[in-house]
Amino acid sequence: MTTNTKRIIDVQLDYHASIAAVIRDGSDELLVFAHFGDFTQNRNEHIIEAVSCTDMGKEGCIRQTMKRVVTVLVELLQNISIHGERDRAGKMNAYVIISKGKDYFKISTGNMLAVDQAKLLMPRIEGLTDYDRLDCKSEIRHKLLYDELSQKGGAGLGLLTIAKKAEKGWNYSFSLMADEMAYFQMSVLVPTIEK
């Protein structure tokens, strides 16, 4: 976790800088969707519907690619809405940005977490960085057969699903914030499958 303290204004600047990088002249990516603010189950459904209705497949992507993108998107949105925290003003200050590159889709997210939750999440993510697709499949099976549900109702499958679908890689960061909070940012590259 970085030791410099991130403020809400810094989070907003990161979000706008990420969008600016995608829409600048000469960018190799196309902005598909972006949202900053609160995330609820209802809003997540609308985001998934909006992304599903875009013409992302126009450039030769097949249905399997879109299924992968939506699967990762669902997991990331659920992580934000279930585990994301709110600031003192009751705002989530979370975001999602979806862009399309030549042979991939990139889904970037950010949300606040309690520092103790971030400390629990960091080793889990670290452990997944060395997993390959078969490791993920095996771990998913094991969790389905032997693990119990967490306090928030999940079996810990979301990160495994993301790692499995992120064949082109993923990265993440944690930054400290005020009030015993941390800001978690993740970017996942989902490869396109050509016709």
Residue ranges and CATH numbers for the domains of the chain are 2-114+166-191 (3.30.565.10)
**In contact, 106 and 187? CB cutoff 8 Å:** yes
Give the pTM. Answer: 0.86
Secondary structure (3-state) at 147: coil
**Quick count: other Cβ atoms within 10 Å of Cβ 92?**
18
* Tens of pLDDT, residue by residue, the chain (195 residues): 655 678 899 999 999 999 999 999 999 999 999 999 999 999 999 999 988 887 665 555 678 888 889 999 999 999 999 999 999 999 999 999 999 998 999 999 999 999 999 998 888 888 777 666 666 667 766 666 666 555 555 556 777 778 777 776 889 999 999 999 999 999 999 988 876
